[in-house]
Amino acid sequence: YKKTVKMVLLIGAASFLGPPVLKKLLENNYDVNCLVRTDSDRSRLLDAARSAGKDFINFKAFSYSYN
């Protein structure tokens, strides 16, 4: 059988609305990629993921130069 993967890119995940949106997506079994600035506080994202029952998050930081 063919399994459908529900994947979302959450832009601005470390913003005010990011963590509750992340929690709801994870509770509904979405695979979520979060786009955050490298200097953003990610602790609220970790808290949201843990409260959704997830115990593993892989952070990958990307730096972009706008020069």
Angle, CA 36 vertex, CA 57 and CA 10 arms, to 5°: 75
Cβ pair 60, 37 in contact under 8 A: no
Best CA proximity match to 19, nearest among 5, 3, 32 = 32
Is this structure's pTM higher than 0.75?
yes
Rounded Cα distance, 19 and 44, in Å: 6
Angle, CA 13 vertex, CA 31 and CA 43 arms, to 5°: 100
pLDDT in tens, 4-62: 888 999 998 989 999 999 999 999 999 998 888 878 888 898 899 999 998 777 666 66
Domain ranges of the chain: 7-51
Per DSSP, the three-state class of 32 is strand
